[in-house]
């Protein structure tokens, strides 16, 4: 069973009202509800665009996921946190 999440496109706004932390970028219309994180890494998510949007937000750059501490980390680092290491 897949999770269905409805979102909007999130254009980057050049007139951003705040700065974003490292590995994140400002989006005027955030689709944060659909962002992949370390916590939902293996969930199937179907994101459907809609006309209304959520509040502006800093979202992780491509190739980064929001980690358990709230920071955006490289996807491969996130995978190390959730996959067992074999010896």
| pLDDT band per the 50, 70, 90 thresholds, residue 28 | confident
Q: Residue ranges per domain, the chain?
A: 3-82
- If you compute the radius of gyration of the chain from its CA atoms, what whole number of angstroms results? 14
Q: Which two tokens stand for residue 45?
A: 């998510």
For tokens 């920071």, the residue is 71
DSSP state of 69: T
Q: How far apart are CA 11 and CA 20, in angstroms?
A: 15
Q: How far apart are CA 40 and CA 62, in angstroms?
A: 16
Q: How far apart are CA 77 and CA 28, in angstroms?
A: 28
Model confidence pLDDT, tens digit, residues 43-65: 877 776 666 667 788 989 999 99
Q: Which CATH number fits domain 3-82: 3.60.15.10, 1.10.540.10, 2.10.25.10, 3.40.50.1100?
A: 2.10.25.10
Share of the chain above pLDDT 70, in %: 62
């Amino acid at each position: 069973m897949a999770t269905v999440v409805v979102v909007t496109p999130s254009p980057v706004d050049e007139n951003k009202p705040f700065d974003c932390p490292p590995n994140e970028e400002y989006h005027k219309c955030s689709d944060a509800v659909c962002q992949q994180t370390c916590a939902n890494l293996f969930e199937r998510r179907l994101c459907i665009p809609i006309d209304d949007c959520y509040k502006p937000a800093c979202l992780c750059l491509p190739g980064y996921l929001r980690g358990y501490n709230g920071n955006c980390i490289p996807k491969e680092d996130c995978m190390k946190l959730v996959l067992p290491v074999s010896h």
